[in-house]
Chains A and B, each alone.
Chain A
Amino acid sequence: MPGTDSEAARDASLPARAKIAVTAGKMAAALSQKAGRGSGSVIGGKVALKLDPDLLKTLAEHLDVVLVSATNGKTTTTRLIAEALRAAGPVVSNALGANMPAGITAALAGGTDARFGVIEVDEKYLPMVARDTRPKAIALLNLSRDQLDRAAETRMMAEKWREGLKDTEAVIIANADDPLVTWAASSCKKVVWVAAGQAWKEDAWSCPSCGGVMQRPGDDWFCGECGFRRPNPHWALQGTHVIDPHRGAWPIQLQLPGRANLANATSSAAVAAVFGVAPQVALQRMQAVAAVAGRYDVVQFRGRDIRLLLAKNPAGWLETFSLIDGPPAPVILSVNAMDADGTDTSWLWDVDYERLAGHPIFVMGQRKLDLAVRLEVAGLQFQVVDSLSQAVDAAPEGRIEAIANYTAFQQLRKAVVA
């Protein structure tokens, strides 16, 4: 949205170099958009950063910045926090999930008279973006295996966070139920611990601190060897309520489904409180969010209702299985293995597809045959199809749950509007 009055006013206050960079970036974005290459925000950001490497820093100076990072849930949580903070002032955010420095720069350059910058950050870039933007708060939600062929190992990622954030002045809002996140955050000065839960535990059996075997009785966890253990949380998700540090219990009423989103709302309420927004106000505002970048959206296609669900890695699939309608709701699974998905599909074997027993299952996507073998070994009945139309036409009645990984999800979204 180039050219609003307030934007012009803000731009006028920028240093000359930043001004030129912002303008050039906007031109590049507009050109890219005209050429039909998407929103152009990333290319615009790249051009702008090239002209002024300090641009991100300059743009962030005027804002109270909140950073959000995690393996899963960062786009949704960024959105929930943005909604909550709008109670206290205008917000600029990279709402569409362009979460690397170029995309973040572009989002902030498009900001107007915002007071808050709520920014989703790719895990790898968090230390760098935290250094450049001097955030007031950083939300760390979870860390788990993702994109095996190119992502850093989870514990190494936690170490990067730990090293990169140890001198930050920001308040860290961290999930106390995730040992890797806890370890990453525990070197920071100001930490608000949130008991947000952790369904997927397979990446946290060895102590990130000493390598000892983690003991996990009930919801607790501790290392039997070095004593590293779950901190006492200030905030907690209990059932469908947020428990605040004063023991107040606030009902969470979201349109977004699933336990993971209750957890995201809890962390978001804790972030909002850092800026003086009370949990009841924050939660009420979060209720307005119905879908995030197409995720959880219920669309009509060939006369049927389809709910579009994104699940990119084992932890994400686990959370997704827990929120879908029970059998006999038909389920469509679509998996790709493009660069953005990770080209190694081994992770399919970490997902408990056995949980889909009783659902009519339709399998599609670039790697439908990997899925077919996985489901065969799980002892499930399923049908392999070539397209969404074919799956929908073959599906028995009821709302269809379509679960897809990253690029497969984008393809589903395109298919339903075509």
Chain B
Amino acid sequence: MSDQQHYQQYGGQPYDGQQFDDRQYQQQAYGDQAYGEQQAYGEQSFAEPQHPQQYDGQQFAGQQRGFDEPQQQYGGGAPEAAPQYGRSSRMSESSLRVVWVYPDLLSTYGDRGNALVVERRAQQRGLGVQRIDVRSDQSVPTSGDIYLIGGGEDRPQRLAAERLRNDGGLVRAAENGAIIFSVCAGFQILGHEFINDLGEREAGLGLLDVWTTRGEGARCVGDVLAEVNPQLSLPQLTGFENHQGITHLGEGVKPLATVQVGRGNGTGDGTEGAWRDTVFGTYLHGPVMARNPAVADLLIKLALDVNALPPADTTWYDALRTERIASAARPA
């Protein structure tokens, strides 16, 4: 038997061009619960669009225009129509588009958890979610609402930076005001540069005014507790860090938080992560959203452009937070 036949017999099917992404799926458009039955949201009034517009594949920029224009007051739509939060223009029309960037390269530390928690927290508020997992040989769509980019090993990090620079999609999305949340290796990629697996300086995307050097001392590994910048109105952060890089912050960003336990950016000044406008970076794993669901809620609020969301159960998150915060605060 020839090698080829041999090979075929052992299950080699002809390549059918199918993408790997079996996790890419579209959630049902909206929850079953009618929106009017829920309590009102902060100052934002809840209204439904008369003509829910379907996503037409246009770039985000077109829709983004409406963001700063006077808000149209929608009348009560048909009962079946998809409910819409307050000023909806930031959000793609029919559902929240959560783009998970490069799970094939940057998903080493349970980073899928951040996508799952954002999805879950949005669904608990009756929002439809469309999660788009973008593999590194696909182009990053520019029309997402929330972009998540996770942690990874040194070599995949270099490959991810190369491909994101060449693709340009994430940079265009950022220029359009997209919400971007990055963790660890992803955080470093959003900065100006980092040290790659070959020991060379590798250009990042420059979306955050930070740059990363390689720490000479021991790797930063362990639990972290940090107080968040008060402007963000978030409770204390808990997470797990594991990195060699030292990230320096420039004038164009603020520290996301100040560490109480742990190393954070590793610069010795107590800063953890960085942030400007709607672009965030952190070193916290855990995953960070699982330990801090308020972070997921913040991203959803930014996407909807509302100040508050209806409450959603946090019993288990709270129990976990209490335990992890106590454990980290306990002297070793």
Measured CB to CB, the residues of A under 8 A from B are 145, 148-150, 153-156, 195, 202, 205-206, 211, 213, 215-220, 224, 230, 232-233, 236, 238, 243, 247, 343-350, 369-370, 372-374, 376-379
Contact = CB atoms under 8 A, between A and B. Distances in A.
B251 interface: no
A373 B112 contact: no
Interface string B39-61: 00000000000000000000000
A219 B13 CA distance: 7
A219 B8 CA distance: 10
A224 B287 CA distance: 32
Nearest to B14: A217
Nearest to B23: A352
Contact of A220 (B6, B13, B135, B222): B13
Interface string B104-127: 110111111100110010000000
B109 A344 contact: yes
A219 to B, nearest CB: 4
B242 interface: yes
B153 A155 contact: yes
Nearest to B153: A153
A339 to B, nearest CB: 12
Contacts of B242: 148-149, 344
A202 B107 contact: yes
B106 to A, nearest CB: 11
Interface of B: 1, 3, 6-7, 10-16, 18, 20, 103-105, 107-113, 116-117, 120, 135-137, 153-156, 159, 221-222, 240, 242, 285-287, 290, 316-317, 319-320, 323
A216 to B, nearest CB: 6
Given A206-B104, A224-B137, A374-B113, 4 more contacts: A217-B13, A232-B7, A349-B111, A373-B317
A75 B14 CA distance: 36
B20 to A, nearest CB: 6
A376 B316 contact: yes
A12 to B, nearest CB: 48
Given A148-B109, A206-B156, A236-B10, A370 B320 contact: yes
A232 B110 contact: no
A371 to B, nearest CB: 9
Contacts of B20: 205, 215-216
Nearest to B313: A376
Contacts of B7: 232
A348 B110 contact: yes
B135 A213 contact: yes
B116 A377 contact: yes
Contacts of A217: 13-16, 18
Contacts of B108: 145, 148, 153
A373 B290 contact: yes
Nearest to A221: B12
Given A344-B242, A346-B287, A377-B117, A205 B135 contact: yes
B17 to A, nearest CB: 8
24 contacts: A154-B153, A156-B153, A195-B10, A202-B103, A206-B159, A211-B155, A219-B10, A220-B12, A232-B10, A343-B222, A346-B113, A346-B285, A347-B109, A348-B110, A349-B113, A349-B116, A369-B316, A370-B290, A372-B320, A373-B317, A373-B320, A374-B290, A377-B117, A377-B290
A232 B112 CA distance: 33
Contacts of A148: 108-109, 242
- Best-buried of A150, A233, A369 by chain B (most CB within 10 Å): A369
A306 to B, nearest CB: 25
Nearest to A205: B104
Contacts of A156: 153
Nearest to B107: A202
A340 to B, nearest CB: 16
Nearest to B320: A369
